[in-house]
A = this chain, B = another copy of it.
Amino acid sequence: MSAASQARRMRGPDELEIVAFERGGFTSYSACGIPYWLGRVVRDRDSLIARSPETFRRDYHIDVRLRHEVTAIDLDAATVTAWDAETGREVTEGFDLLMLGLGARPLRPQLPGADAAGILGVQTLGDALEVAAALERDPRRAVVVGGGYIGLEMAEALVRRGLEVTLVEQRAQPMSSLDEDMGALVADALREVGVVLYTGESVTGFETSDGAVRAVVTEQRTLTADVVVLGLGVRPNVALADSAGLPVGASGALVVDRRLATPAPGVWAAGDCAEKFHRVSRRPVAIALGTYANKEGRTAGINLGGGYASFPGVIGTAASKICDVEVARTGLTAAEARAAGFVPVAATVDSTTRASYFPGASPVKVKLVADAGTGHVLGAQIVGREGAAKRIDAVALAVWNEMDLGELINADLSYAPPFSPLWDPVLIAARKAAQEVTAAT
């Protein structure tokens, strides 16, 4: 819808007819807000919806067709076929330009019992309504499978709703998008609010009765569960495009150029289904984030509307709030840097969000990763309390601009006692990382 509305801004309804097929019943909502709505931090479900189908129809003259699942794309015939869930009929539309915003599909474990009722995902607002309905039935025990952003945010939401919550994560620490030492801090925060955490433990199946889940079975134990929430991550939803003959890259997402054109003339792709260029690793990646989808939608929309725009790539910046702990990352972790062929050095510092003497100063830990050879800042991870996460943006632009540590140390970041120690935590980390580089060479 981001691409559609941007294209509409470029070309009026007399110049460009826009039809949008949507499998679900909603348009333009904040998927990232779902755990907070389920946890009753956000009270009004409708506040998550940025623009309704009616708004798109009325104000943007976009022919939004809800509950239409596209089942086939024929590039030669330039048609799209969709199944209308309301009428049960198939409809076919021709196109001059096609924009694919296919999104991602959540991973479901291929395990015994995985299709039982009560095993729920939380990707779409439709999913969220199912979870909300399940929570109305006053379940006592919840198991969350997978400790990524969604899994952790849902664990917190379920605690807020008064459930006994257990989280099972295959890896040694939750939040595997952080290095393990930083992920351990998130694990501590979860335990503090009462989440029982089993890490380094794989789910092997589900016990069910009458088609409903009763327990999650892991290698070590059986966890009784009235409701199971899956947070195993997502994969680009490319099957339809793949069938149509569009190339899928090594990342698993659709191959696009910088303008977000696929190799098929007139066919564009944006969002979770489209491959992104990672500016640090210099490799194609598939990262499903709302900010990327929205920015890419704008870029594709400008191009669809006859303008010229390009998307410069990503550096993997992300943030989340788990209980009272703020988490953020950008660029590469030390582990990712090694995998990308760098020789990383890392420095971790403990500082505070305000001058140490200022009321409300709270701890913030910054881990900065740099390339031992060039001193370039490769990435950072931040874990802390109120006021910690958004500090990642300064490092993000340091990474984006390929700054080296020597330059970052003296960078002109803001200081005032209510906002920062005299030396910003990021700069302290840069100083320490520079020492590590010196020691390593």
Contacts and interface: CB of A to CB of B under 8 A. Distances in A.
B415 A319 contact: yes
Contacts of A340: none
B44 A357 contact: yes
A317 interface: yes
Interface in A349-391: 355-359, 387, 389-391
Contact of A414 (B48, B319, B401): B319
Interface string A244-263: 00000000000000000000
A410 to B, nearest CB: 5
Contacts of A321: 416, 418-419
Interface centre among A32, A389, A393, A410 (most CB of B within 10 A): A393
Interface in A404-440: 407, 409-420, 422-424
Contacts of A319: 414-416, 419-420
A224 interface: no
Interface stretch (A55-63, A69-77, A93-101, A291-299): A291-299
A393 B396 contact: no
A412 B357 contact: no
Given A400-B411, A418-B321, A357 B30 contact: yes
Contact of A318 (B318, B355, B392, B414): B414
A129 interface: no
Interface stretch (A14-22, A169-177, A227-235, A308-316): A308-316
B394 A393 contact: yes
Choose among A32, A314, A316 the residue with the greatest number of B CB atoms under 10 Å from its CB.
Answer: A32
Interface string A288-306: 0111001100010000000
Contacts of A314: 412
Contacts of A414: 317-319, 328, 330, 389-390, 392-393, 396
A326 to B, nearest CB: 8
A279 B389 CA distance: 28
Give the interface centre of A33, A41, A422 by most chain B CB atoms within 10 Å.
A422
Interface string A268-303: 000000000000000000000111001100010000
Contact of A357 (B47, B317, B401): B47
A390 B294 CA distance: 24
B396 A413 contact: yes
B41 A407 contact: no
Contacts of A185: none
Q: Determine which residue in A47, A409, A413 has the highest number of CB atoms from chain B within 10 A of its CB, and name it.
A: A413
A134 interface: no
Contact of A415 (B290, B387, B423): B290
Nearest to A329: B414
Range, interface on chain A: 35 or more
A42 B358 contact: yes
A330 B397 CA distance: 15
A298 B317 CA distance: 31
A184 interface: no
Contacts of A299: 410
A252 to B, nearest CB: 20
A342 interface: no
A30 to B, nearest CB: 6
A412 B317 contact: yes
A154 interface: no
Interface in A10-63: 30, 32-33, 36, 41-42, 44, 47-48
Contacts of A316: 412
A3 B259 CA distance: 50
A218 interface: no
A403 interface: yes
A89 to B, nearest CB: 35
A320 interface: yes
A422 B417 CA distance: 29
Given A32-B417, A299-B410, A389-B418, 10 more contacts: A44-B357, A312-B407, A318-B415, A318-B416, A319-B414, A321-B419, A328-B414, A330-B412, A393-B413, A394-B394
Question: Which 8 residue pairs of A and B lie closest in terms of their CB atoms, listed nearest first?
Answer: A47-B357, A397-B397, A401-B401, A393-B394, A319-B414, A321-B418, A319-B416, A291-B415
